[in-house]
Every structure is written in structure tokens, then in C-alpha cells.
Structure 1
Amino acid sequence: MSDQAATANSTAKTGQEQAVAAWIDYLNQARLDRLIRTFRQQDVHLAAAVGSINDALLEINKVVASNRGGTKGMHGFIAEVAEVGIGNARDLIVGQEARYEWVDDNGPIDLLRSGVGIQQKFYAAGGRFGLGAVAEHFARYPDYIANGNRYQIPKDHYETIRGLLRMSEQDASALSRSAEGPSFRDWKRVQEFFANGAVPFESLEPAHLDYREVQQGTYRETLQAEEASVRRTYQTRRDAAHMASRPSIAEAAKATGAAAAVEGSAAFITAVLAKRRAGTKLSDFAADDWAEISEQTGVGFATGGVRGLSVYVLTNFTASPAAVANAVVTAGFGIAEQANRFRCGEISEVEFIENAETVALEASVSAVSSLIGQAIVPVPVVGTVIGNTVGMLMYRTAKESLSTREAAIIAQYLEEQRTLRAQLTAEHQELIDELNAALTTYLDLLERAFSPDIGTALAGSIDLARVLGVSDDEILDSDDKTLDYFLL
């Protein structure tokens, strides 16, 4: 394979790896974006729900201040306004449209809920749980139920009526009227009311509140409790959204599978192209060729799976950018490969260190290039791939240029060292020759200076003194100098 083809394959591989990492990062970001949108929507829902309750409270305050309905009828108006405010608040807090509307025209309909008319009957007089008031209204408006409208009574009254209606006479005979519950007489009244079928039980529905909760002295506490309930619902839904946005095993499996498929497919294509570049036609592929391709594809699938899972874990549990997480994984794979080659004796320790440094450097360049590309081209995956491609091409171009320059510098350095070594060798030999000559002369002078013959020793001593730099005035080379030196 040519160097150009190898560079192209290497760049394509790093681009594919960074694309997988960018896709995983996009999945993570999309999940977080959904969470943020959900939080914002829930904030809007909470404000609307609390606003509905506050509007109801203000309206009820007006009813109380004006003494509307008097002592007996005021609680009916309180119940109507509270039903609208609470009903809409419970719809709004879960993101639904407000369905309730207060009619307030003293007509046959008190409320509207999604277009359905509702007549409220919050009566306790007569011990009939509001059924007497329902009968009176139905007598005035006999087409009320046929027109699709409904009657609404306090929630506790509705539960009591339903229990009595379903109760057998034998069980009802054991009832006794007390503050704790209805009596046998109440049971008979309920049975008789629904026996004629004029007002079926299905036309009744419970209100959101009990009878006692809409009295003049309790409505504030009731609405405050409802606001607290709405806020609890808000927090519950917020917690549920946060839990739903957390990394999951299913999403990790999705990322792992996709990464394995991409890297395995890329490995298959690369292996086939390598065979084709070597001159083997596709139709001439032998069993050994396909076995080699299958092995490389399997390694690609396994590597991709590990990469996908690792990047998913790193980006979600260590807050690492996807490009950096992929660089860590890529460097890990590369160093592990070099370590295996070192253990098998294919490379030396120095080569292992150098190769590991190169692997880490290339992974870092890929990560930085991908981050820059994503920032410049803020399109998921596309920006990452473009940044990686441009960055790696620039890096390899610079690396090749640097390698050529380094080779020239090294060759020049070696030539200079060779010339310098030859020069120093010649100078060293000259100094050795001079030293040998000087040493020979010196030894000859010593031999003569210490000769047993006095005349020879005297002449030798004079020559040695001159060689050692003694001035002629100080050398005793005549009788006069000798006499002067010893006698004077």
C-alpha cells in the first residue's frame, strides 16, 4: 500500500471513529435538551396552575365580601368557583388545557367542562346528600340530562350515595344513624330515589372537594392545600423527567451496537480495498482471503463495541467531551497494540515508547481538531468529521515535512561530525609527535646532565637549564661566574 493510500485510510478511520463519538454525544445532548425543554414547560405549567388557584381565591373573596347567596347559599358559589379553579389547576399542572368555565348566570348550568354543562348541588339539608336538590332541578329542567348535561355533588356525598346504592338490604339493616355514617333510613331514601330511573346514577359525578371544604371558614385552607398538592405534582413530574433523562442501559446498548456496526463495516471495506489494491480481483478472492477479511471485520466489530460503550460511559459519567473520550479510547487501543508487539519481541523498548507517544499525539490531534470543527461548524457529526479530517491532514503534512527536514538536519550533522573527527584526529597525532620529540630531547638532556663524567654533566646541565628557560645571566657556564657565585 502506498504512503498516500495509507494516509487516506488512516484519516478516514479517525474520521469514522470521531463520527461515532459525535453521534453518541448527539444522543446525550438530545436527551439533555429534552430535559431542559421539559423543565421549562413544567415551570410554565406550575405558574398557570398556581395562577388558576389564586384567581379562584380572589373570586371567592369577592363572594364572601358581598355575602352573595346569604348564609345558606354562599357555600354553593364558593364550591362553583373552587371547582373551576382547582379543576383547571389540576389540568394545567400536567400540561393539559384548562377545561372548566364558570357560567355564573343563574341559569340551569353552573359550570362548563369541555362544553358539557354541570349543575352543582352542595346541599346537606334533609339528610339526602343533595339528591333532593337534584330532583328539584330536574323537575324544572326535564331535558337537562337528555341534553348531555350532568349533576355534580360533593365528593364525600357521592361516595356515600354510591356505597348505599351498592349495599344490600341485609347489610343496610345493620346501619345506625350517627356521626360516623349513614343510617338504614338513608339507604332507603337512596334506593327509592334511583328506583324510578328519572335521574340515573350515571348522570351524577363527584366534585373535586368534600362538602366541608367549601365553607366560608375553610375555603382558604382548602385552596392552600390544593396549591401545595399542585407543587408536589410539579416536583414529582420534574423528578420523573430527570430520571427519564438519565443514561440508560438501553441507550448504552444502542450506542454500543451502532458503533460496532459502523466500525465493523469500515473494517470490512478497508480489508476488501486492501486486497483490491494488491491486485486481487473480487472474483479471485480465495477462502484464505475471505477468512482474513472476516477476522479483520470481527476485530472491527469488537473494537467498535468497546469504543461505543466506553465513549458512552465516559461522556455520561465523567463529563468528558465525546472527542476527548474517543481519543482516550483510541490511545488505549494503540498503546495496547504496541505493548503486545513489545511483548512479542517485534519492537524494542525505545521503539515501544516512541510509538506510544506517537499514538497518544495523533489521538490528541484528532480530539482537538474535532472539537474545533464542531465549534466552527455546529452541525451534529458533520462538524466533528470535517474538523478531524482537516486537522489530521494538516498534522500529517506537517509531520512529513518535519520528517524530511529532520532527516536533512541529521545528515548535515553527521557530515559535520565526520569532518570534525578527522580534523581532531590529525591535530591529535601532530601533538603526540611533538610531545614524543620533546620528550626524547628532554630525556637526552637528563641523561647528559646526570652523566658520571663531570665535563659531560656540566655541559648537559647548562643545556637543560637553557631548555627549561633559565636566562644566560643566571647560568654558571664559565669559571668567572662560578667563582663569583660561590665566593662573593
Structure 2
Amino acid sequence: MSNQIINQAFNQGIGAYVNCLNNLRIQDLHNAMKIIEDEARRVILNKDNASKILNYTRDNIEDVILKKRGGDYGGHGFIAEFAEAGIVNARRAIEGLNPIVKVLNDNGPADLLIGRNTIQMKFYGNLRDELAQSFHYSSKMKMMFPKDHVQVFEKIMAGAKEVELNGKRLSIKQITDIRQMINDITESKGLTSYKYWMKSSALDYKDAQKNSIHSLIDSEEKNIRKTVRLKQQELNKKRLVAQKHALPNLKEANKLARNAAFLQSGLALM
């Protein structure tokens, strides 16, 4: 067999091998990019869903304020209900999760439905007055209080002797009274821990006021945009990695060169 024929066959074989590798890389890149672009579309869809939820929430809260529901002192309770549902559901939407909080708005004993749990919300400025409302509801009803109030209750139940709320230190008597009241409520419901009936809102007490609620929703919208940017940055990194993996690397080139040299030397002996 002449060297010309051998070299021609060799070059054709190497060319076919290289084409095969390139086709595999292209197919892998195509598959990887399809997964990434599908994920990118989901990010935008989730953002749109979260924004719609917050817009709906803003409209409901504006309606509460305009109609003066709850009067001068009870309006923040209705604001808290719609804000809780909107914020929690929007945070879930941005992660691709379904809404879980529903405002019942039916003048019944429960304000919210979270999953299968009925929730009564109480947003009072006075901690003990707020807690005292729990005596009026059955053990099946979960009681939801402002996040900053629940943090105070948790510290007290953990045995803290120095507790502050809004920069003001609670007296020993206040701490003792609150701890006793929580224990009494738990006992009256036939439960063994306050954690079975007490739930924390996503809102602090000040957030549910008509002069601050819009700032809170604006902040949530800003957080959604930030989350979207971070997700898109992560997707861009994945695109670069996929493109890099699709390129021939030095290890592949060296392996191909060694195989080519071995094959060529073998053919030369024929």
C-alpha cells in the first residue's frame, strides 16, 4: 500500500473523528442552552406573576384606605390581612411556587387561610391587649401577630430578662405578665407549647399603617427586581460555562495528537 493512500485514509479517519467530536459538542451545547433558556423564561414569568400579586395587593389596600374600613383605629387590621397575603404569595411566586395565603374577607372568625390552617390576625399597639384576644378563639385557630411582637414574645418565653420593643425596654413586671399570659393561653387551649397556636406575620406592626404600607410594597417590588437580576446573572454564568465546555480543550487536543501519531506509525509499518 502506497504512503499516499495510507496518508489519505489516515487523514479521512482523523477528519471523521474530529467531526464526530464537534457534532457531539454542538449537540451538548444545544441541550445545555435549551435548559438555560427555559429557566430564563421561567424567571421572567415568575417575576410577572409576583408583580401582578403585588399590584393586586396595592389595589386592595388602597380600597381599604379609601373606604375607611375599620374606622380610624381598625383599618390597619384589614391592611395587614391583604399585605400578608400579597407579600407572602409574591415571595413564593418569584420562586415559582403557588400562592398559599388567602384573605377570607367574609366577616367570619378567621381572617386568613394559609394552606389548611385558619388564621386570626391581631395587630395591637399594646402587647398584652393583643395577646388577650387569643382567649376568644379555639385551639384550632392560629393567632398571627406582628413579626416584631412575636420576636419579643419568643425572647420572653426563652427566659430573657432584658427585652426591648421599638427601642424601649420592657419592665420586669411586663415581661412576667406576658410570659404568664402566654402560658395561660396555651393551657386554655389544651396545648403544650405556644408555638402550636402563635404565628408570626411577615410584617412588623408599623408596616401595616396606612402611611407606611406603600413603602413596604415598594420595597418588596425592589427585592423582586434584585432577585431577578441575581437569577439572570447566574444564568449568564451557566451560559458561559456551557459555551466553554463546547470548545475543544488542550487535553482533547493532546489526546487526539497522541492517537494520531500512534495510528500513523502503525500504518507506516504496513
Using structure 2 for the length normalisation, give the TM-score. Answer: 0.82
1:99 maps to: 100
Is 1:154 aligned to 2:153, yes or no? no
Measured in 2, the distance between the counterparts of 1:18 and 1:121 equals 69
Check 1:27–1:116 CA distance in 2 against 1; reply closer, same or farther (3 A cut).
same
Q: Deviation at 1:143?
A: 4.2
1:192 maps to: 180
Q: Deviations over 1:367-397 (max 9, x none)?
A: xxxxxxxxxxxxxxxxxxxxxxxxxxxxxxx
- CA-based RMSD of the aligned residues comes to 3.2
Q: Deviations over 1:133-154 (max 9, x none)?
A: 2222x2xxx2415xxxx32111
Check 1:178–1:115 CA distance in 2 against 1; reply closer, same or farther (3 A cut).
closer
Measured in 1, the distance between the counterparts of 2:132 and 2:89 equals 29
Contact 1:176 1:183 (C-alpha < 8 Å) held by counterparts: no
Aligned partner of residue 118 in structure 1, secondary structure: strand
**5+ residue gaps, structure 2:** none
Q: Which amino acid aligns with 2:147?
A: K
Q: Deviation at 1:225?
A: 1.5
Contact 1:109 1:117 (C-alpha < 8 Å) held by counterparts: yes
Q: Which amino acid aligns with 2:224?
A: V
Q: Deviations over 1:211-255 (max 9, x none)?
A: 11111222112211111121111112222222343338x958996
Alignment of 1:28-427 (within 5 A): 28-125=29-126, 127-128=127-128, 130-136=130-136, 138=137, 142-145=138-141, 150-168=142-160, 171-172=161-162, 180-196=168-184, 197-198=186-187, 200-202=193-195, 203-247=197-241, 251=245, 270=263, 274=267, 278=270
Aligned partner of residue 176 in structure 2, secondary structure: helix
1:22 maps to: 23
Using structure 1 for the length normalisation, give the TM-score. Answer: 0.48
1:435 maps to: none
Measured in 1, the distance between the counterparts of 2:36 and 2:166 equals 53
Contact 1:88 1:100 (C-alpha < 8 Å) held by counterparts: yes
Check 1:176–1:113 CA distance in 2 against 1; reply closer, same or farther (3 A cut).
closer
Q: Deviation at 1:58?
A: 0.4
Check 1:13–1:177 CA distance in 2 against 1; reply closer, same or farther (3 A cut).
closer
**5+ residue gaps, structure 1:** 279-488
More helix by share: 1
Q: Deviations over 1:120-165 (max 9, x none)?
A: 111224x3272112222x2xxx2415xxxx3211111111111122
Check 1:244–1:167 CA distance in 2 against 1; reply closer, same or farther (3 A cut).
farther
Higher relative contact order (CA 8 A, sep 6+): 2
Measured in 1, the distance between the counterparts of 2:122 and 2:211 equals 19
Q: Deviation at 1:259?
A: 6.7
Give the structure with higher Rg (CA): 1
Q: Deviations over 1:333-386 (max 9, x none)?
A: xxxxxxxxxxxxxxxxxxxxxxxxxxxxxxxxxxxxxxxxxxxxxxxxxxxxxx
Measured in 2, the distance between the counterparts of 1:258 and 1:39 equals 31
Q: Deviation at 1:79?
A: 0.4
Check 1:116–1:260 CA distance in 2 against 1; reply closer, same or farther (3 A cut).
farther
Q: Deviation at 1:271?
A: 6.4
Q: Which amino acid aligns with 1:130?
A: E
Identical-pair percentage: 23
Q: Deviation at 1:50?
A: 1.0
Q: Deviation at 1:192?
A: 0.4
Measured in 1, the distance between the counterparts of 2:99 and 2:241 equals 34
Measured in 1, the distance between the counterparts of 2:67 and 2:165 equals 37
Alignment of 1:424-439 (within 5 A): none
Measured in 1, the distance between the counterparts of 2:216 and 2:177 equals 31
Aligned partner of residue 119 in structure 1, secondary structure: strand
Contact 2:152 2:164 (C-alpha < 8 Å) held by counterparts: no
Contact 1:56 1:85 (C-alpha < 8 Å) held by counterparts: yes
More strand by share: 2
Measured in 1, the distance between the counterparts of 2:258 and 2:24 equals 16
